[in-house]
Amino acid sequence: MASAVGVQVPLPALNFCLVPKVLTGMNQHQQMSKPSLSGSESAKFPAEKTPLWEDAVVIVSIIVLWPAVLRRETIFSRIAMLVSLILLVVILFRRLKRLHRLAGHEH
């Protein structure tokens, strides 16, 4: 029984012999719903990794917002926010282009 602030709440008993059956059933469902790709089929769908500089720009852009959050904006922080906004738009278009390219390979 669990106790919190003097209140006792009965916990339901778990039947542990059913848990492996449920997990096995879930794994079988996942395997059936996802067809496995052979080596030749996976070559048709090239997986592109996100460039490291894109991830770094996103993180730096979040950091650049903090002067505005703390109400300590200066001209330099406003310029940094503007530059980060422009870079984020460029990253958005690059990622959309990769997404469309991937969608084109599926059809």
Contacts (Cβ under 8 Å, ≥6 apart) of 84? 57, 60, 61, 64
In a domain, 15, yes or no: no
In sign, the C-alpha dihedral spanning 11, 15, 18, 20 is positive
Q: Considering its fold, how many domains does the chain have in total?
A: 1
- Read off the pLDDT of residues 45-93 as tens digits, 9 standing for 90 and up: 566 788 999 999 999 999 999 999 999 999 999 999 999 999 999 999 9
In a domain, 16, yes or no: no
In a domain, 61, yes or no: yes
Query: Does the reported pTM lie above 0.85?
Result: no
Residue-range definition of the domain harbouring residue 85:
48-107
- Read off the pLDDT of residues 11-56 as tens digits, 9 standing for 90 and up: 666 555 554 554 455 455 444 545 555 554 455 556 678 899 999 9
In a domain, 85, yes or no: yes
In a domain, 76, yes or no: yes
At 7, the pLDDT band (50, 70, 90 cuts) reads low
CA angle 97, 99, 102 (to 5 degrees): 110
In a domain, 21, yes or no: no
